[in-house]
């Protein structure tokens, strides 16, 4: 009697003050739910050998018997059962220390590749970066647009007038079409070079009408690139700026579209 009272007091201190009497019989343990909890907490029972399925069935039978007359006791029994399931799962799952030891073994067996293996790829990336910089980025050195145009004897103001005359002939752009493929500057350069005459003409005479304002911009940008590459000539004829072919057809122009 005194032992039963002591068990009740310890369960009450743990929060399970009114556990129902659920019996479990197994080779590792025989007794009630309350006694099993105390034995587990005091490390007197190894949960690996205790089948909690039988205890769960006993709990379900208990619920069927009481109906909804004692909700508090049913809830306490469920929390106690959940505690036992959690403790048993903690014993079954592998220890974190074991996993860390396995990870250390895998890491120690992994050999990092030497830097020399990546040297060809790095050299190719650096070369492409420098090539891209030469094609698409303007600099203040003698290879820039400003100095190339100045070497032709045609100043920026004259080029601006030629562009303004072209824009004056352009039509407004229609509403943009969703999903339309992006335009390629490389292809535009090819188109402009083929349209340039051997005998220089004004830009308005070179661009075939009709054309929109955005098309005029594309033509002018491609023409500037051809001038920079030395594949288009530009001369002054009085107040007019005239453009023509120079050199061979551009090849290998990177795709900017």
User: Residues 129-183: pLDDT tens digits?
Assistant: 887 776 655 555 544 455 555 556 788 888 999 999 999 999 998 887 777 777 7
The mean of the pLDDT values for the chain is 76
- Comparing 99-108, 119-128, 214-223, the range with the smallest average pLDDT is 99-108
pLDDT of the residue at 254:
45
The domain spans of the chain are 2-96, 143-245
Provide the b/e sequence for 99-132 (b: ≥16 CB within 10 Å): eeeeeeeeeeeeeeeeeeeeeeeeeeeeeeeeee
Whether the CB-CB separation of 29 and 36 falls below 8 Å is answered with yes
What is the Cα–Cα distance from 109 to 163, expressed in whole angstroms?
66
For residue 1, pLDDT beyond 70: no
C-alpha 177 chain-centroid distance: 28
Counted residue by residue, the chain has a size of 257
For residue 102, pLDDT beyond 50: yes
pLDDT digits (tens, 9 = 90+) for 126-139: 888 887 776 655 55
Whether the CB-CB separation of 199 and 240 falls below 8 Å is answered with no
pLDDT of the residue at 95:
65
């Amino acid at each position: 009697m005194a032992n039963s009272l002591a068990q009740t007091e310890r369960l009450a201190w743990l929060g399970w003050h009114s556990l129902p009497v659920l019996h479990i019989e197994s080779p590792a343990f025989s007794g009630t739910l309350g006694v099993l909890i105390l034995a587990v907490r005091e490390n007197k029972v190894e949960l690996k050998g205790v089948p909690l399925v039988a205890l769960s069935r006993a709990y379900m039978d208990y619920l069927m018997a009481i109906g909804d007359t004692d909700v508090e006791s049913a809830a306490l029994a469920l929390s106690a059962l959940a505690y036992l399931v959690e403790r048993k799962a903690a014993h079954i799952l592998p220890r974190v220390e074991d996993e860390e030891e396995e990870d250390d073994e895998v890491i120690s067996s992994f050999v990092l590749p030497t830097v020399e293996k990546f040297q060809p790829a790095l050299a190719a990336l650096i070369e492409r970066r420098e090539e891209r910089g030469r094609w698409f980025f303007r600099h203040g050195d003698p290879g820039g647009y400003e100095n190339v145009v100045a070497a032709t004897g045609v100043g920026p103001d004259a080029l601006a007038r030629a562009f303004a005359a072209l824009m004056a002939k352009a039509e407004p752009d229609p509403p943009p079409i969703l999903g339309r493929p992006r335009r390629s500057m490389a292809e535009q350069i090819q188109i402009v070079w083929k349209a340039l005459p051997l005998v220089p003409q004004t830009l308005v005479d070179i661009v075939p009408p009709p054309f929109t304002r955005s098309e005029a911009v594309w033509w002018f940008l491609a023409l500037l690139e051809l001038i920079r590459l030395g594949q288009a000539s530009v001369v002054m004829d009085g107040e007019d700026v005239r453009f023509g072919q120079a050199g061979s057809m551009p090849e290998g122009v990177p795709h900017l579209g």
